[in-house]
């Protein structure tokens, strides 16, 4: 229990208090401590990347091993992963594609630019279609609050695009009326709400940090006390 719980909690408290104080102490020891700790946390944080890689690999290996539904597709995960690692290890000059050209891009960069980038960009762009369909289906002004949301959304959506300046010019004789109305919504009520939310979150994060330092919050330790 002392090794499993007490000492880690003491480490959290001790390091946390020193971390808090170093911001207010201009002594060179304080700066040296901060420099050392940032190096340590960068190195330890880097090892955490292995956990992510392991977790994803383990999930797909388990899926293949147990022949779970859709296990065949998990093979493509390893085809992609091993392929990228292989082209990096084998270096820049694989294949006749690069022989004799002044191409400074490696096959590794090629894989990133022509496989990872289009897949990643496309998957998120699909949301545009579903968002349009959902907006048509569900965006209803059922009450005052929903009506306010709808009105603000329409004014901001319209005010942010160039066509609003044309329309504004024709309707009001000044091309900036609708864009300025959109800007006013962002500058005042939006600012107020976002600031209120930010203050609440900041207070929550500070209290959560204090709970961690004082050992009240221990979820980071994992289970199995």
Partner 1 sequence: MSDYPQADDIQAGATKRRKAIEMGALALLVVAFMIVSLIRQNPFAKGADPAKAIGVIVAAGLTLIMYSFLYRDNPLFKIGENLYVGVSLGYTAVITWRDFLRPLVYQPLFEAPTAAALRNSLLHLTVPVILGIVLLARISRKHGWVSRYSYALMIGWGAGVAIPLFTNSYILQQLTAAVKPLQEAAGAQAVAAPPAFSQAWLFGVAGPIFGALVAMIGTVAVLFYFFFSVEHKRFGSAVSKLGIWFLMVSFGASFGFTVMGRLSLLIGRVNFLLHDWLNIPVK
Partner 2 sequence: MTTNPGRPRHYELTRRIIFVLVALAVILPYFSGRQQPFTPSPEVRKVFEKVDGLSPGDHLFIPIDYDPSSEAELYPMCLSLLRHCFKKGVIPIVMTLWPTSVGIAKQGCDEAAADANSMFGKKVVSGKDYVFLGFRPGVQNLILKMGDNLKGAFDKDYYNQPTQGMKALAGVNSLKDIKLLVDLAAMGTVEWWIAYGTDRAGIPMATGTTAVMAPDLYPFYQSNQLIGFLGGLRGAADYEKLLKIPGRGERGMLAQSATHVLIILLILGANIRIFAGRLLRKKEGLS
**What are the structure tokens assigned to 218, written together?**
């221990």
Contacts with partner 1 in 80-119 (CB under 8 A)?
Answer: 80-85, 88, 97-98, 101, 103, 105, 108, 110-119
Q: Interface with partner 2 includes 157 (CB under 8 A)? A: yes
CA-based max dimension of the chain: 76
- Lookup result for tokens 């994803």: 56
91 contact choice in partner 2, partner 1, none (CB below 5 to 8 Å, kind-dependent): none
Category of 59 on φ-ψ map: left (φ > 0), alpha (ψ -120 to 50) or beta = alpha
176 contact choice in partner 1, partner 2, none (CB below 5 to 8 Å, kind-dependent): partner 2
Within 8 A by CB and 6+ apart from 169, the residues are 175
Q: Which is nearer to partner 2, 101 or 125 (CB)?
A: 125
SS3 of residue 222 by DSSP? coil
140 contact choice in partner 1, partner 2, none (CB below 5 to 8 Å, kind-dependent): partner 2
Residue 87 has φ and ψ, to the nearest 5°, of: -70, -25
C-alpha pair distances (Å), 200 with each of 104, 127, 195, 197, 205: 50, 30, 8, 5, 9
Q: Interface with partner 1 includes 209 (CB under 8 A)? A: yes
Contacts with partner 1 in 6-45 (CB under 8 A)?
Answer: 7-9, 11-20, 22-24, 36-37, 39-45
**What are the structure tokens assigned to 156, written together?**
């901001």
174 contact choice in partner 2, partner 1, none (CB below 5 to 8 Å, kind-dependent): none
Report H helices in 66-101: 71-90
Give the nearest distance from C-beta 5 to partner 1 in angstroms: 8
Give the residue from 112, 87, 82 showing the smallest Cα distance to 97: 87
Give the nearest distance from C-beta 29 to partner 1 in angstroms: 16
Footprint of partner 2 on this chain (CB under 8 A)?
A: 31, 34-35, 37-39, 41-43, 45-46, 48-49, 104, 109, 112-113, 116-118, 120-121, 123-125, 128-129, 132-133, 135-137, 139-141, 150, 153-154, 157-158, 160-163, 165-166, 175-176, 179, 183, 186-187, 190-191, 194-195, 198
């Amino acid at each position: 229990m002392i090794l499993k719980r007490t000492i880690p909690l003491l480490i959290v408290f001790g390091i946390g208090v020193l971390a808090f104080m170093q911001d207010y102490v201009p002594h060179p020891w304080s700066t040296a401590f901060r420099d050392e700790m940032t190096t340590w946390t960068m190195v330890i944080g880097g090892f955490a990347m292995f956990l992510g890689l392991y977790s994803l690999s383990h999930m797909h290996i388990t899926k293949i091993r147990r022949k779970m539904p859709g296990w065949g597709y998990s093979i493509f995960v390893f085809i992609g992963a091993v392929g990228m690692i292989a082209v990096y290890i084998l270096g820049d000059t694989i294949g006749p594609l690069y022989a004799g050209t002044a191409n400074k891009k490696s096959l590794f960069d090629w894989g990133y630019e022509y496989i990872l980038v289009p897949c990643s960009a496309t998957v998120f762009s699909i949301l545009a279609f579903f968002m349009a369909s959902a907006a048509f289906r569900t965006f209803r002004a059922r009450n005052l609050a929903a009506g306010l949301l709808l009105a603000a959304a329409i004014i901001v959506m319209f005010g942010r695009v160039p066509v609003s300046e044309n329309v504004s010019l024709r309707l009001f004789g000044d091309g900036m009326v609708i864009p300025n109305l959109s800007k006013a919504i962002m500058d005042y009520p939006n600012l107020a709400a976002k600031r209120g939310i930010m203050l609440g979150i900041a207070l929550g994060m500070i209290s959560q940090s204090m709970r961690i330092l004082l050992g009240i919050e221990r979820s980071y330790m994992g289970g199995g006390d």
